Each structure stands twice: as structure tokens, then as C-alpha cells.
Amino acid sequence: MSFTGKVHKVGAHIDTDAIIPARFLVTTDTRKLGEACMEGLEPGWVKRVHEGDIIVADRNFGCGSSREHAPLAIIGAGIRAVVGHSFARIFYRNAFNMGLMLLEVGDEVKKINDGDTLEISPEHGIIRDLDNGAEIRIPPLSPMMQTLIDKGGMVNYVREQLKMRGEAE
């Protein structure tokens, strides 16, 4: 299922302290974390975001700590997906496990302009910049990753699996 959203571009090596500084780690509430999303990059950054928007990042997005609060803060801010040149390994896992979609596009990330509207079709692996007409093709999101996104993360996914087997509380 494709969706559209407005682009907010960020640079390379955006680390987990930029995404959610340690002083905000006093909660695990997604919405509260979202209010401080990118606070370590630029105070008040999140004010520009509307529900369904998309972050477009340069290389190695999410490097640093293994805190699961980082993808939660992005989800809490209302971001639908992050399109990036590349992602740090632990952040990549944590994002999908928390239910945040990541799309790795390499150098083609340069084709996307800040403030444009993107149309993303994850199951076909197509990303379109509707303002400048650029099209990026990547391998389709794997079924496992799509399932994690659909279920809202790993905890819900496992809970559902257990319910189907009649093993959950």
C-alpha cells in the first residue's frame, strides 16, 4: 500500500543522541518521546512535522547507542518512514522492531529535495518525488519487515503469534 508524505531532510551520521538526547530518556511513552524528536539536532525541530511526514537522511542514520527510544521518538513525532542513504546496524533492527519503516536507497538519496512530497510504495520498492519527478527503485520491502510494520512492531507481532497458538496471556 503506497503512501505520501512531506520530506524533512537531515545530514549524515545523525546519532541516537541527536534523535533523542539522554536527558529525555526518563519515559518510554512514545508520544512524549516524540515531542523531543531531533531535539539534539535542532531545538524545536519537531514543530515542523505533521502526521505522516517522512525523514530523508544521508549515510549512517541512527549510529550510536542501542536505545530503542530513538525509533520510538521518531514514531511518536508522527513520522511514517525514514528514507536513508544507509542506517546503523542496531538502529536498523530497533526501528523495524518498534514498527518504524526504513528504506535504504544509497546515493540516490540526493535526488530527493527538502520539503517535497514523496510517494512510497514499499511492496514494489518504488519511491517518487512528486515535485521534481525523480524516481528511485529499490528491492521491495521483505515480507518479514512489512509484517513488523503492519503489526506495529515486534512486541505486537509476537503477541499475535502467541494468541493464534493460544499461548498468550
Binding residues vs other proteins (CB under 8 A):
66, 68, 88-90, 92-94, 96-98, 104, 139, 142, 144-145, 148, 153-155, 157-159, 161-163, 167-169
Q: What contacts 58, CB < 8 A, 6 or more positions away?
A: 10, 11, 12, 13, 14, 84, 85, 109
**Shortest CB 140 distance to other proteins, Å:** 11
CA dihedral sign of residues 102, 59, 120, 136: negative
**Shortest CB 26 distance to other proteins, Å:** 16
**Shortest CB 7 distance to other proteins, Å:** 24
**Shortest CB 168 distance to other proteins, Å:** 4
Give the strand order in the sheet containing 54-57.
101-104, 81-84, 54-57, 3-10, 117-121, 126-129, 135-137
Grid cell in block for residue 95: 526501528
The smaller minimum CB distance to other proteins, of residues 123 and 131, is found at 123
The smaller minimum CB distance to other proteins, of residues 5 and 76, is found at 76
Grid cell in block for residue 12: 549524515
DSSP assigned state of 142: P
**Shortest CB 134 distance to other proteins, Å:** 22
The smaller minimum CB distance to other proteins, of residues 61 and 96, is found at 96
The smaller minimum CB distance to other proteins, of residues 18 and 60, is found at 60
CA dihedral sign of residues 63, 69, 79, 1: positive
The smaller minimum CB distance to other proteins, of residues 40 and 99, is found at 99
